[in-house]
Amino acid sequence: MRYVVAITGASGAIYGIRLLEVLEGEKYCIVSENGLKIMEYETGKNMEYLKALAKVYRENEMESPVASGSFRFDAMIIAPASMNTVAKIAHGIADNLITRAASVALKERRRLVIVPRESPVSAIQLRNLTILAENGADVVLPSPAFYTRPKTVEDMVDFVVGRVLDVLGVENGLYRRWASQ
C-alpha cells in the first residue's frame, strides 16, 4: 500500500506522526512550515524524525510526484487538518502540495481522510467538512473514547489513530474495541 500523510499547522501533529509510525508500506509525508513548527513544539520531534519514517516533502515542493494524478497512491490522510486547509480543499484551492495532493485524491476517487483539529467549530467550518464528506472524503474527528479507560495521552492518540486505520481498512490493535460486559 502507498500512503500520503500530511501534517498541517493545527495542534495535534502527534496524530500524523503516529500514523507514520504504524502504517506499513510505502509512505510519503507532506509537512507545512507551521506543521513543522507545531510538531517540534508539541512533540520534540523534528524533520529528521519524519525522514526516518517516510519520504518527506515540504508544502512548497509542487514538483514532487504526489502533486500529479499519475502518481498512484492508495490513500491520503491529513492529520491534523487545520481549518484553513479544510476550507481550501473544500473550495478547490490547490495552492500548496497538501491541498494539491488532496485535490488529486478527490478527483482520482482515492481515499482521503481528514482529521480536523479544531474545537469549537463554526457553521462555516462544519459546512466545509460537509462539502468534503459529500465529495468522498472521510472525516475522523479526533475524539478519544473513554470506554477504553485510557491511562496515558498515548492511549488516547492510539484510539484516534486506530479509528483512522479502521476507516482505511487496516487491521490494528491500537485500542480495545467495545464489547458489552
Domain of residue 143, CATH code: 3.40.50.1950
In a domain, 174, yes or no: no
Evaluate the CA torsion angle 69, 73, 75, 79 in order and state its sign. Answer: negative
Residue 181 lies inside a defined structural domain of this protein: no
Sites in the chain below the pLDDT cut of 70: 180-181
| Phi, psi torsion values for 174, nearest 5 degrees | -75, -20
All 3 cell numbers of residue 95? Answer: 495552492
Q: Is residue 61 part of a domain?
A: yes
Residue 162 lies in a domain: yes
Q: CA-to-CA distance for 115 and 82, rounded, in angstroms? A: 9
Q: Do the domain assignments include residue 90?
A: yes
117 in a domain, yes or no? yes
- Number of structural domains (the chain) is 1
The pLDDT of residue 178: 87
| Eight-class DSSP state of 100 | H
The C-alpha cell that represents 106 in the structure block:
478527490
Three-state SS sequence of 24-51: CCEEEEEECHHHHHHHHHHHCCCHHHHH
Residue 176 lies in a domain: no
Range of the domain at 73: 2-168
The verdict on residue 178 lying in a domain is no
